[in-house]
DNA sequence: GTCGTTGCAAAGCGTTTGCAGCCTA
DNA sequence: TAGGCTGCAAACGCTTTGCAACGAC
């Protein structure tokens, strides 16, 4: 599946990011590039990536905007800085979640977000 | 801080729920009551509760609507049924999260959502 | 009568979609 | 010329706000 120029640009930005970006952040990042696409084009590129399985959507607590990141990063979680609002990936996983699940429930997945101060803000 | 009638009704619904409810769910629940307030009144009651610290807002991954629950439930997490979309509280906490935090970052909180099938859907 | 609460409708904000213009082949 | 990509603007759903009417004291 060949990428359109706009899709390629968006893909580059997401690949270079150290965590999931919102559509607005992608657009802001693209402002640094030679050519800035319209917001509609950004959303179309992001949704095309979701459809093709290239990206996954990420929603963080307390943040009502959808974020996107490449789907090939494997299982990981996120750290959200409460000061600068930057979101970065963190490797690893607490594991041992089955004991938390009530009787009769089936656990198929989980999502963990850490909050605190990033290295810049700390 | 005396509650208005509408605030009291919303408070009753949230207190009886076994997990966080969205504004739409609160409104749907209120339809079973004698008097159904307008959606604006529901939002006003919810936000008044947030301001006074009576409620906390909860956002779940993959769900772009804000949910609300009483603030006095202590530290707990949530289980979201991927089939019926019901969300219920789960007690307990994996703990041991500090090892996941990158060097130079300060951990102040976390949020965990479990996904799977509830006892009804399993 | 005064003040706060409520309901309706309009406004906001993020996201999606329709449509026409553009570029490439 | 035909096709798809793009940008603009309108549409859309959830949430908030303005304003006037209502009810309690």
The enclosing domain of A99 has a CATH number of 1.10.10.10
Question: Is residue A88 in some structural domain?
Answer: yes
Residues 6+ apart with CB under 8 A from A97: A107, A110, B94, B112, B114
Asked if residue B48 is part of any domain, the answer here is yes
Which residue of A61, A96, A117 is in closest CB contact with B111? A61
Within a domain: A122: no
**Mean per-residue pLDDT of chain B:** 90
Structurally, chain B folds into a number of domains equal to 1
Band of the pLDDT at B106, cuts 50, 70, 90? very high
Task: Name the DSSP class of B76.
Answer: -
Torsion of CA B25, B6, B14, A115, to 10 degrees: 90
Question: Taking residues B68-96, what's their average pLDDT?
Answer: 90
Say yes or no to pLDDT of A84 above 90.
Answer: no
Distance of CA A6 to the CA centre of its chain: 19
Residue closest to A15 by CA, chosen among A79, A68, A59: A68
Cα of A115 to nearest chain B Cα, Å: 5
Q: Which of B12, B113, B1, B15 is nearest to B69 (CA)?
A: B15
Q: What share of chain A is helix, strand, coil (3-state, %, to 5)?
A: 35, 25, 40
Residue B103 has pLDDT above 80, yes or no: yes
A62 touches chain B (CB under 8 A): yes
- For A92, the 3-state DSSP assignment is coil
Q: Out of A28-42, A96-110, B37-51, B80-94, pick the least confident.
A: A28-42
pLDDT of residue B64: 80
B112 interfaces chain A, CB cutoff of 8 Å: yes
Q: What is the pLDDT of residue A1?
A: 59
CA of A75 vs chain B CAs: smallest distance (Å): 13
- Residue B49 and residue B4: Cα distance in Å, rounded? 11
Q: Assess if residue B121 is contained within a domain.
A: no
Residue B104 lies in a domain: yes
Residues of A in contact with B106 (CB under 8 A): 116-117, 122
Helix (H, G, I), strand (E, B) or coil at B61: coil
Report how far residue B117's alpha carbon sits from residue A22's, in angstroms, rounded to the nearest whole number. Answer: 29
pLDDT of B1 above 70: no
Across A22-51, average pLDDT: 89
Q: What is the mean pLDDT of chain A?
A: 89
pLDDT tier for residue A41 given thresholds of 50, 70 and 90: very high
Please answer whether residues B112 and A111 qualify as being in contact, where contact means their C-beta atoms are separated by less than 8 angstroms. Answer: yes
Cα–Cα distance for residue pair A34/A32, rounded to 1 Å: 7
State if pTM tops 0.85. yes
Query: Does residue A13 belong to any structural domain of this protein?
Result: yes
Is the residue at A121 inside a domain? Answer: no
Q: Are B68 and B27 in contact (CB under 8 A)?
A: no
Q: Is the pLDDT of residue A114 over 90?
A: yes
- What pLDDT is recorded for position B100? 87
Average pLDDT over residues A59-65: 83
Answer yes or no: do A100 and B91 touch at CB < 8 A. Answer: yes
Name the residue range of residue B42's domain.
Answer: 5-116
Is the Cβ–Cβ distance between A70 and A109 less than 8 Å?
Answer: no
B23 domain-assigned: yes
CB A23 within 8 A of CB A39: yes
Residue B4 has pLDDT above 90, yes or no: no
Quick one: what percent of chain A has pLDDT higher than 90?
58
Does A110 contact B112 at a Cβ distance shorter than 8 Å? yes
Three-class SS of residue B105? coil
Tell me which residue in B99, B114, B119 faces A97 most closely, judged by beta carbons. Answer: B114
């Amino acid at each position: 599946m060949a990428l359109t120029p706009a899709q390629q640009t968006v893909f580059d930005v997401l690949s270079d990011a150290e965590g999931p970006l919102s559509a607005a952040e992608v657009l802001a990042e693209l402002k640094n590039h030679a050519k800035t696409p319209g917001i509609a084009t950004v959303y179309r590129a992001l949704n095309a990536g979701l459809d093709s399985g290239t990206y996954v959507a990420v929603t963080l607590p307390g943040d009502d905007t959808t974020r996107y990141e490449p789907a090939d990063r494997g299982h990981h979680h996120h750290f959200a800085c409460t000061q600068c609002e930057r979101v970065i990936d963190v490797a690893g996983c607490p594991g041992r979640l089955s004991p938390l699940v009530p009787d009769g429930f089936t656990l198929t997945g989980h999502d963990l977000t850490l909050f605190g101060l990033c290295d810049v803000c700390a």
